Structure 1
């Protein structure tokens, strides 16, 4: 396995993409051929004694050949400095940047196209590797603004589908937690993720920070930018407060909003 120093020598940093409390993501160019990648440098709180879980998860996703997730190309671990570096497939921007930079609000039709892709990717993860993303938000959905293709990234917080629920203490982004996660600190892989899908759809169109509703009072939701009743209905289906009756991802694809999108794609193909 490469050392961090030898891996870094093969790339030069073009610019910083994102920085967080324990990691930085940069746009990196491979010196050999000029190909662009995303480089993540992560520092762990605890001493590294084995391969970090994020790398193991990326290896599983890569082996399963799931098209809708960013692919890991190589990695290196510095056990003495408690850090690791991952070289990932590069996508032009995240969804938050894409939405905020637009001159006009995103349309419900385009939002539907994005959400439909996201749900299918989540189902692929669930079915092909038995995992579910625990931190779905606009910053973890990458998009190509030309093709409108989306991919998921950041697999530091993953739940195993074989378990009914996963302890979610200090995992994910608190403001996107479903009610059961807030109250019980539990993430139900096949149901809690649906809540996050609903928040994602709402954020994309309405562009109102979800912090406005962190008290869980859904009666405060506003839909000024929505014209399609099917889109509003979809969001309320996702934001069912009771996890016991909230639908799963399969049922989301059967909702009138996404089902119409699927049917149109099949006709065109």
Structure 2
């Protein structure tokens, strides 16, 4: 049975109206429900329905997602089995598009828009951390963004982990890591237990990407990326792309979030986001350096700066 063939069917009261996304393990539909209205329904791929690991991960996504109650996290409505081995997960419908698609078209984004996005992701992740959950797969493909409202919704807790799990539970298998290589923290590759600080690395990588349209290592192959992550510091943000420069304070915040030593990152994702917001605000209000300008020009700039501050 193909995913497309499910369109038009009703499972457990959810009428699947359109296939809106497909991945390696599941497909997502826009659906209607008589009580919940428009929702998103994720269905596990048929070939994985007898795979215990895949089913467990699918179930875990619902279990972890239902523990995090925040406006920037998609709300879990129901998880179930509509018929033998047809596993589904229903969540609220999040308007907009995947942040990855938006960034591919628009990045580099203006710093003020990056701050709005990063701040909401940070609040969602902070809520997960408060619930004892490390997301472990923060990336633009797991974030819905509505440019019209600038609202963000965090998706997919499929490989999340409890912060109080033991080592054997939190490591998938010895020598393996979970996550997405472009956004995974170095400590995850070395087999260490992943803490909330790993989510901060991923969020800093998202900020780096949105600000520059580049990734911190500039690797061309997964092997090169793996090697660099294990042994090298990331490329400074202002060296990523000749045509893109940010204020030094903004670069400093992002690069601290990308410290290879988790202890050198900010104490929390919320503090990282707050520092980024403050750095962008400081850059917006800082007067430009006076270079070979006469007194009248400098006076006019000072007056303009004063007017901007009064208008805020």
TM range (shorter): 0.7 to 0.9
How do 1:80-95 residues align onto structure 2 when only pairs under 5 Å count?
80-81=84-85, 83-91=86-94, 92-95=96-99
Match of 1:241 among 251, 260, 270: 260
Conserved in 2, the CA contact under 8 Å of 1:38 and 1:89? yes
Which of the numbers 57, 72, 81 marks the counterpart of 1:68?
72
Name whichever structure is richer in strand by fraction. Answer: 1
RMSD (CA atoms): 3.4
Distance 1:36 1:258 in 2: 34
Structure 1 segments (4+ residues) deviating >6 Å: 261-264
Decide which of 48, 52, 69 is 2:59's aligned counterpart. Answer: 52
Aligned-pair distance for 1:34?
9.8
TM (norm. structure 1) is 0.80
Shift, 1:109, TM fit:
1.0
Aligned residue pairs total 254
Structure 2 unaligned spans of 5+: 1-5, 220-224, 285-310
1:19 equivalent to 2:22? Answer yes
Query: Residues of 1 paired with 2:281 and 2:43: CA distance?
Result: 38
**What are structure 1's unaligned runs of at least 5 residues?**
none
Q: Report if the CA contact (8 A) 1:113-1:261 is conserved.
A: no
Residue of structure 2 in register with 1:208 after alignment: 214
2:244 to 203, 208, 225: 225
The residue that corresponds to 1:42 in the other structure is: 44
**Aligned position for 2:296:** none
C-alpha distance in structure 2 between counterparts of 1:210 and 1:252, whole Å = 17
Q: Quick check: 2:136–2:160 contact (8 Å CA) kept in 1?
A: yes
Give the whole-Å Cα distance in 1 for the aligned partners of 2:123 and 2:188.
23
Cα distance change on mapping 1:50 and 1:23 into 2, 3 Å: closer
Find the counterpart in structure 1 of residue 308 from structure 2. none
The alignment status of 1:252 with 2:272, answered yes or no, reads yes
Partner SS for 2:246: coil
Deviation at 1:261, TM superposition (A): 7.0
2:108 touches 2:209 (CA, 8 Å); kept in 1?
A: no
What is the aligned counterpart of 2:140 among 138, 141, 157?
Answer: 138
Which deviations, in whole Å up to 9, do the C-alpha atoms of 1:151-181 show, x marking residues without a partner? Answer: 1000111122335873254522133221111
Query: Is the helix fraction higher in 1 or 2?
Result: 2
**Range 218-227 or range 92-101, more displaced:** 218-227
Cα pair distance change 1:204/1:13, threshold 3 Å: same
